[in-house]
Amino acid sequence: MTKYVINGGRPLTGTVTISGAKNAAVAIIPAALLVDGVCRIENIPEISDVTMLLNIVEQIGAEVRVVNRHTIDIDSSRVQTTDATFSLMRRIRASYYLIGALLGRFGRANVAMPGGCNFGGVRPIDQHIKGFTAMGATVNVQNGIVMAHTPNGRVKGATIYLDVVSVGATVNIMLTATLAEGRTVIENAAREPHIVDLANFLNSMGADIRGAGTNVIKIRGVKKLRGGFYSIIPDQIEAGTYMAAVAATGGEVLIRNVIPKHLDCISSKMREMGVEIEDYADSVLVRRTGPLMRTNVKTMPYPGFPTDMQPQISTVLCLAEGTSVVTEGVWDNRFKYVDELMRMGGRIHVSGRTAVIEGVERLTGACVKATDLRAGAALVIAGLSAVGRTEVEGVHYIERGYENFVGKLKALGADIDSITVPDDGMAEREAV
């Protein structure tokens, strides 16, 4: 088992470079299955979710060539199978994008449902299925496998109103609709930066998608996509996580390779808390010298405050003067990590989707366990700011989504190490 050992209390200083966006990469890799040719994808983050997804597309017949650490070629011209039911599929939530990609390209797909539920709640796919069905597919879920097929091998464009703003359903419908017959309209679509990135990727390969980034996306089906080059956007949440780390520890860090506009929702909250943030063309300078002030946060779909930053901001608010209220507006149960923060001296009371956080002067080091990716990042931030030694277990979650987290933090002056100890056999694996 690998764990992180942190001796906290050091302010972060220096420069950190943000990697490509995880949630864009995990949509764009399956999207490459729609392309009849070679896609060169740059700025791929080196994280385990990407490795798993590349294994998955290889298993169904795509050729993946690693050009360098952050660039790959995917050639899907010889993919013929519509079956992705092997066990690896259950390890990663984004494997459900294979349904949209295979259904869109071949008119049928048998895909294993991703297992687990990392926030302790149900993660339904009813809106995805609503989209596939509206486009003429018959969809059945049996023995953990989603089986979708169309009578004549090609889906048909349709107008789909999403009952909830869902990133996954928006992506899956875009993938299905790209090669469909006719025009698809997604109403109440998600507007996250990675939705726009997926649309830009598909358009650069010959798709006709308009409106991504607004809540109405219009897709005119095309017969074929050709190969091309694409570079993935920087990771908004990785950048936000370093911003939160600086807020918690104090210090001054230049965060490079970001799109400051994507960070506005995070920056504006942090400014309210007394963190100084200066925006430049493709970087932000984050500085915290004075005390942290309380605030209230409610997570919402983009451009609201991101749910994937909720554990990190809650950790920072543990150190703010006064009482803050954090309301989770996207997921039913995303406060599992709070028990671990309380072991470090955090004063938090959770009731349903709301956490009331009473600021303390300092957190204290403890042995804690990550329950999911962002919870893990939050515990690392807590450890960096705490007095004494913190051990964070369950780091496989963190490594699903943060490239070289330990190395990047060390370069900012953190005292953090990744150590491997004999496994107690209790490690759990869940899908993000």
* Residues near ligand EPU (CB under 6 A): 23, 26, 93-94, 123-128, 164, 166-169, 190, 307-308, 330-331, 373-374, 401, 432
Tokens matching residue 28: 């764009």
Cβ-closest residue to ligand EPU? Answer: 168
- Nearest to ligand EPU of 126, 187 (CB atom): 126
CB of 120 to ligand EPU, least distance (A): 12
What angle do the packed helices 260-272 and 310-317 form, to 10 degrees? 30
Task: Name the residue nearer to ligand EPU (CB basis): 23 or 315.
Answer: 23
Q: Least distance (Å) from ligand EPU to the CB of residue 178?
A: 18
Closest CB to ligand EPU among 23 and 365?
A: 23
| DSSP β-bridge partners for residue 415 | 7
Nearer to ligand EPU, 168 or 359 (CB): 168
Q: Which of 117, 265, 318, 367 is catalytic?
A: 117
Is 377:310 a contact under the CB 8 Å cutoff?
Answer: no
Question: Is 367 a known active-site residue?
Answer: no
- Are the CB atoms for 359 and 326 separated by under 8 Å? no
Nearer to ligand EPU, 307 or 385 (CB): 307
Beta carbon of residue 171, minimum distance to ligand EPU (angstroms, whole number): 7
CB of 237 to ligand EPU, least distance (A): 6
Is the peptide bond preceding residue 306 cis, with omega within 30 degrees of 0? Answer: no
List of residues 6+ apart from 319 with CB closer than 8 A: 248, 292, 359, 360, 361, 362, 363, 385
Query: Minimum CB separation from ligand EPU for residue 62, in Å?
Result: 19
Edge to edge, the sheet with strand 108-112 lists 83-84, 108-112, 145-149, 138-142
Longest distance between any two alpha carbons in the chain, whole Å: 65
Query: 265 to each of 1, 274, 281, 331, 383, how far by Cα in Å?
Result: 36, 15, 17, 18, 25
Catalytic residue positions, numbered: 117
